[in-house]
Amino acid sequence: MGFSDDVDKKAAPLREAILQHPFVTGIGDGTLNVEKFKFYVRQDYVYLIEYSRVLALAAARARGLEAMSWFARLLDETLNTEMELHRGYCARFGVTREELNATTAAPTTQGYTQFLVATAHQREYPELVAALLPCQWGYWEIGDHLARRGLPEVAPLYREWIEVYASPEYKALGDWLRNHADQLAEMEGPPTTLRMQDAFLSSLRYEYLFWEMAYKGEGWPV
């Protein structure tokens, strides 16, 4: 059993909590209040800006040309495809690019992105790879789970969202990163593997908190 399968088992209750979160199930059955989705898209856009910085650091720190090339391609896809998808969503809501770019990070968004940036700067490369897994693999897991339950015909916007993350192309990205994490853990040994596990679980907890933040419309209290 590789690192990714092992940590998946350890994190099973948290992964299931994400799949059963009312924000996620609301996308799946089409009942999620559109204002909650609008809030999520704007916060996720802020997240993706910082995520792109982390991917750039991952490309710079990557071990070998294959990993460097993979992170560079993902950086390009994030900046020029996924973020454009978010701009398109916001355009439907009447949110301009200027308004989107001026979005203030909510506390959870700020905490999650600061954790990832700090990991990219200060921790070992295998820990960085592990910290990226919950987002990259987790979104496919959510998309696949919802697609298997049936696409919400009454909510075309949510259907589109599910189709993006349930796609074979998105799964391939997660598969590559899982395999890369497995290879790193095997080469590094138990001490590094334990730190990778901690990084993975920290990111996964933030993933749950991100859905919670979006559902509640989290803001700064003062």
Any idea which residues carry the catalytic annotation?
135, 207
| Cβ atoms of residues 210 and 29 within 8 Å | no
DSSP alpha helix (H) spans, the chain:
3-10, 12-19, 22-29, 34-61, 65-77, 83-93, 97-101, 107-122, 125-149, 156-165, 168-188, 190-216
Q: Per the structure block, which two tokens stand in for 207?
A: 């993933």
| Cβ atoms of residues 178 and 4 within 8 Å | yes
Q: Per the structure block, which two tokens stand in for 69?
A: 């090339």
Burial class (CB in 10 A: 0-12, 13-18, 19+), 220: exposed
